[in-house]
Structure 1
Amino acid sequence: MINLFLDRHDFLFAVEGFARGSHLRQHVWKEIVFKSISQMSDDDIDFLWFFMRRDIFECYFYELNGKKNTHFGYEDFMHVLAALHRGNRYMVTFYSEIEHKQLQALCYRFEGEYHPLYLYIDGKIVGKTKKNSGLQSFNAFVPDEWIKAVAKRKTPENRYVELGKEEWWNDLEIYDNFKTTYNG
């Protein structure tokens, strides 16, 4: 295991390089960016979300001869954008059929499902220790039949969003509809 300490600029440059490399983009979103969320401040998350949306989005979504197309890896890229978007946060209360108890999770919405970032019991993050951040699995989601309540969190301001690009920050439907928009 190699531990690297990168500032947000170096991290973004590395991720962009991985995303543009055909054989490297396969794992960058799930194994590098998603797993790093727990180490980021809210400001770091906002920074990365905006510059990845602005600078990397077109690596995966493009138009050719009037037809919208995608490149390999676009689903994982969108999954990570959804996870990074702090306006895409929901506190979900559900009854776990696995643990047989009611839990809460801070989730983000992606492809019509609520994906947990962190589980909570009695107001504390489940599994958070000195060696474990408590961040849930990339592919985890809360089944609809378990959900008891969903409370949308207030959308915070993102100081990095440039004038004229505010629609990117305000459009949460893109995380549920990108497949029909680009491959429909």
Structure 2
Amino acid sequence: MAPFTGLSGHELFIFGYGSLVSSASVSRTLRREIQQQHMPLALLHGFARDWEIRVPIVFDDGHACNGQFLDISPQPDATVNGVLIPVTEGELEMLSRREAQYDAVEVGARIQPALAPGAKVLAFQGRHEFRRHTPQVASYRPYSYRSLVETAVLSRGEDFLAQFHAMTKPATVNEYQGGYRFADPAQELAARPLAG
């Protein structure tokens, strides 16, 4: 694949592979509009995508549990499709507060197409302590989260959606209907800043 063009003015990118594929979701967190055409498609080699991270959430009906969300983990023969989001250092901090159970890891050398020399690409990878089964706390995948992700992925084309499913490890999960919020108020505020 040819190198990216039109991104030479940016030096810092986030590789989004789940809810960060949604320009609306990213725009809400960063408090500025980011249009889809400014989030080019990309591939991340050497990582696999799964549903293995667990994040404390509370559904609108008051049910508290661990939510199962998308994550990536190193796997030499795997590839993940996603988007590149140009951000500032300050915006990286905003996204890091939202993705509180993840670490931002450097993946620039594994991105295709290649970016200009000197560009830095980070991806959010779940921390080990959140990638485990917690029998004492029930885990559910929020239907609204899966719907948001699949809608965002589909907006980039049927082929991108098919690639997304092919590049995501199958998971046996229980889904829960209804809206949800993060149990950590700071994380919730980062994900959904108050208007004004």
Q: Give TM-score scaled by structure 1 length.
A: 0.31
Q: Give TM-score scaled by structure 2 length.
A: 0.30
Q: Which has the higher contact order (CA 8 A, sep 6+)?
A: 2
Higher helix share: 1
Higher strand share: 2
